[in-house]
Structure 1
Amino acid sequence: MSDARTEILGRIREALADGPEPDPVERDYRRVSEADRAAVVAQLEDRLVDYRAGVHRETLQTVAARVAALLGEGRYAVPAGLDPAWLPEDTDGRRRVTEPATGEGAALAVAELDALAGVVTASTVSCSETGTILLTGRPDEGRRALSLVPDHHVCIVPLDTVVELFPEALARVEPTAVITMISGPSATSDIELERVEGVHGPRTLDVILLDRGR
């Protein structure tokens, strides 16, 4: 730490030394869900559909075919840690581009990502109450740019990672992780409330709810 930074932080601590103690935060909100598992998954699906995401229920036997149908033709990106069993075989018209794990090679440039037909990633946890999918940069999810730059994101959500409440979701996240929260395709509205999609991320979001037990 630089001398200047040490001095500045020291002055801040000195200025706050005689400040009042904050009131304790009451945490009387729900932190553990008692909802039925099927109801939780159905709630997530309902929220995502309302946010204009495509939602598809698949098993380990059907997920690769669904990914192929969603992507169509072209080159698409995947993070190095994504389970290859979830992905279709390459064809003359469709080819997988795997981004190297951190420290094992050069990451795809932004221009390369922008030229791809899409990206396929896994996810860490999803909150059904808000319809939010959390990515935390794990090996099967990749860095933030991987899921934000391509115009089409196919996100695989294993059913056993779906919870109802946000406190439950945060409990599954590494505290120091960089979190990307996804609630439908990227969208915003202008001053006349005209909805525009794809401004800050993918224009198209397809979510595969994956039953890993079948």
Structure 2
Amino acid sequence: MNAREEILASVRGALRTADRTEAPVPRGYRTVVPPNVVDLFAERVVDYRAALTRCTSAELPDAIREALGPARKVLVPAGFPVKLDGVPDAADLDTFDAVVTTAALGIATTGTLVLDHGPGQGRRALSLVPDVHVCVLREDRIVPGVPQAVAALDPARPQTWISGPSATSDIELTRVEGVHGPRTLHVIVVAD
């Protein structure tokens, strides 16, 4: 018997005699709720080099237009809450300058947006291919931390977690944006 066979025999023996009851996993994660989750979220979004606008519902259409800047061809997923000029969905995403979506929620401590691809969010590729992503998030959809986000999300739905514009660094730590997704992320946080 060689060493590999000895190890596997030992593992098999341990499995046969092991108590197969599962130990409970404690889920009492330590959570600290920051005093103002909206301000913390905004600070973290900017730390990730994303643009940020805070506005009211009445100011939202103008804020979106301003965030889109010179973008000519814009994707707007079905169920988006504001009437915008744009294409609701398209097969050839490379031909679009920008996409405007909503988010299921935001995470204050990490500045992360979570899309679960419900109404106003579209399919996953919409938020990954165009060069500009404008994402609208209501203040009441911001949670303090990751444990609260996981608890609030439906694990059966697809999810995309976004922390800043797409970025990577080479071996010399030179940051390059837009390699694996949108080069520009503009988050609009809506009060009311």
Q: Secondary structure at the match of 1:206?
A: strand
Structure of higher CA gyration radius = 2
Q: Return the offset for 1:20.
A: 4.6
- Residues in 1 aligned to 2:136 and 2:160: alpha-carbon distance in whole angstroms: 15
Q: Secondary structure at the match of 1:97?
A: coil
Q: Secondary structure at the match of 2:179?
A: coil
- Residues in 2 aligned to 1:179 and 1:83: alpha-carbon distance in whole angstroms: 20
Instruction: Return closer, same or farther for 1:23/1:42 CA change in 2, 3 Å cut-off.
Output: same
- Residues in 1 aligned to 2:188 and 2:107: alpha-carbon distance in whole angstroms: 15
Partner of residue 119, structure 1? 99
Structure 1 residues 54-84: Cα deviation after superposition (integer angstroms, max 9, x where no partner): 0100111111111111213401001111112
Partner of residue 30, structure 1? 30
- Residues in 2 aligned to 1:43 and 1:34: alpha-carbon distance in whole angstroms: 11
Alignment of 1:4-43 (within 5 A): 19-21=18-20, 23-30=23-30, 34-36=33-35, 39-43=36-40
Instruction: Return closer, same or farther for 1:115/1:168 CA change in 2, 3 Å cut-off.
Output: same
**Percent identity over paired residues:** 46
TM-score, with normalisation over the residues of structure 1? Answer: 0.77
Runs of at least 5 residues in structure 2 that lack an aligned partner in the other structure: 1-14
Partner of residue 131, structure 1? 111
Partner of residue 97, structure 1? 87
Structure 1 residues 121-179: Cα deviation after superposition (integer angstroms, max 9, x where no partner): 00001111111110011021011100000000000010000011111111221111111
- Residues in 2 aligned to 1:116 and 1:207: alpha-carbon distance in whole angstroms: 19
TM-score, with normalisation over the residues of structure 2? Answer: 0.85
Partner of residue 9, structure 1? none
- Residue type of the alignment partner of 1:189: S
